[in-house]
Chain A
Amino acid sequence: MDTISTPVKKLDHDLKMSGAARYTDDLQIPDMQHGKVLYSSVAKAIIKEIQLPQLPEGYVIIDKNDVPGENFVHIVADDCPVFADGVVTYIGEPILMLVGPDLKKVRELLSQIVVVYEEQTPEIDFRKGETFFYHYEYEKGDWQKAFAEADQVLDETIETGYQEHIYMEVQSMIGMKDPNGKITVAGSLQCPYYVHRALQKALGLGPDKVCVIQAEMGGAFGGKEAYPSILGCQVAVAANKIGKPVKCVLDRRDDITVTSKRHPASMRYQAAIKDRKITAIQADIRYNSGAYITLSPVVLQRGLIGAMGVYTFDALRVEGKAVKTNTVPNGAFRGFGGPQTFFAIEMFMNHIAKAVGEDPLPFKLRYLAKKGDETSTRGRYHFHIPMPEMIEKVDKASGYSQKYQEYKNQSGRYRKGIGLGLAYHGCGFTGSGERDMIKGVVRLHKLANNKVEVLTAGTDMGQGLKTTFVKIVAKTLGIPIEDVIIKNPNTDFVPDSGPTAASRSLMVVGKLLNRAAEKLKEQWEDGEEQEVEEHYVHPEFMIPWDLSVFQGDPYPDYSWSANVVEVEVDTLTGVTRVIGAWGMYDVGTAIDYRIVQGQMQGGFLQGIGYGSIELMDVNSKGQIRNNSLSDYIIPTAMDVPHLQTDIVDHPYEGGPFGGKGAGELPAVGGAQAYISAMESALGTNLYKTPFSQEDTLEFLTKGAK
């Protein structure tokens, strides 16, 4: 029998597979001009002078003086300028935009601009930085006593590197101005209303004078949550000045250099151990924010909330800092602060287990969080946590437990290793954001022909949101999928259902649609045009979140994952092959089984890349050196020939048809499984991502550092 999980053909399938989809770069508008941004080439300086070449007719410079409103891009705070105002604070900071009819000419002229800088000493190393954008602390239980009474204290620093999104489509945006002065921005973006609010501020216009449209989008992974607000303001300011449409499509090298990435993290973990049991944990965590705040506070919050991973400890202390540096501002990336701390705690648990003479898995099992437990932030796990069942399944599929024993004490050229990594992802916006900030609204518009249009600000970036939204509405109304219409959001027509981020869309916005459809079904009048609207309702069971003390339920529910990776290391070269990867996930009920599988496989591979080959090479001047696809390496399908994922089905009662967050979860657990496998192969403890071929050979040649 068909259920909501039964796969359907994705609504964007034909469009994209046939090549007919038109992305921002494909869009041609009469009289359209091309813009290219001049970025700072130094990490910290005062701009003394900008020497421009002779500009032919029709070529125009757009800079801070052209910003009609405030020269700030509204993201979380208003600290990041649309165009630099006399100073630059990272390599890649936008200084001005050159606009003209011929793209080649624009590039040529741009390369002739000379910026005279008075350079200052930049702060590059976030481990040493002393300027903090944000600083949070929380604790639970008597951790001081536990440390005082410990018979052993383990103290380690674990680090994670950058990760670049490498969405297939680079950041792209078009700004347009209509005769009445209204500004429209269309492009590749995750959150139409984020851009909408940023435009109002930079342009000094009311909400009815700006419009944002999502074009077809070739991937985002979080990278198009905040940056489109910056690029959107830039093309809007340009279009506003010259009165013609202005398109700006970043080159890949610029995209890698100037847009946000996953925050590198340095995490000191300490464990108090008594009678071979953990009695308390302390974590001191630093995330490299880069030069501006952008999304750092929320990224850091999520990281800190997850600092204890999937475990329950009675006593703990967590402290976290978002460190300001003269590097590119970091931001959202699938997992949103989670992959860093979940990596750290999983490695730390491996190491503690070994220190007390146990294998990692049986040790971890004893600390697993379960329904009813108090969370680290004194909230509660309100629902069943299927972790034991998932671990059992993934163990069986991969042969983890047996192989882990087999792979101890190997010799010879090729050595195998197997590792297990556990993770959760909190579903929805952190804390009380859904209730206090987002306040999502959705509408269903029924036409006289009985077709129903879905109106939300949710964007499909390839993850399948259009398809799952339509399935929810069609199933609730009991009408065929073909009778439900969904278009790319345009802020002139869709209500603000919130950003497409935080694994919230299906669970939160999908639930609103589910309720709206129920309402419409009750009122249904054949042949009549009708409209229903639904507003966010906060789950009553949640323990209120208080950010000032970092306490309460940060999320209504969590999605869970158990991941196993098996590797084979060539000890002569350090080249490591992933010979198998197995993932088991709890995402509530899959609204579309195939879409969920696609998300799990892609995310898992992204996590493995994060642990292994995705190395961002930043020099001491703050320059990213490998800003191309031949130098920044992400895995291909060839790199994980055997990737097996599946789900357990435990409906979440607060989500539509039992569904909850899925999109980010798989990217949170891959790196720890990979590095754990490397630990098993090399017979040592490891402390960082990525762990490269070079690192492997260096370890084999010289031993652990």
Chain B
Amino acid sequence: MLFKLKVNQRIETVDVSPDTPLLWVLRDVLHLVGTKYGCGMGVCGACTVHLGDQAIRSCSIPVSALGDQPITTIEGLAEAERHPVQLAWESLDVPQCGYCQAGQIMSATALLHHTPHPTVEDIDAAMSGNLCRCGTYTRIREAIQHAAGLGHAAAAHKTAHGA
């Protein structure tokens, strides 16, 4: 069945069965492999992308349920320049294996979009759906605070979405 999606500012048409999760459309049909498979049941956050300006778990939403909201993946987060969250991740050397980090970054950017100056409690609440098997939570927390401090996080986020 044909579905029309707006992914990272581009209109894509995909021919898949309606129950195919967005995750596998992104990875195996559109070859946007930055979004990762971790659990397939919405409990690890590795597959986090933005639907509109909300962080969602792409493994748990079938392509037929997406509607016409734009989708942003890790590949689409940085347009001309890196998002402050990506810069913070890089300067604090957050990742270990790195496998969870696309999902972490997508959750963190959504958090800062809605809450530009989060408290530690805000951060913990927003990020606790994202598992990191390597245990980089300490660095992730620091990087989010750092990104918020870099300022203009919300503004830059808007630019990244072209919103």
Binding partners A and B? no
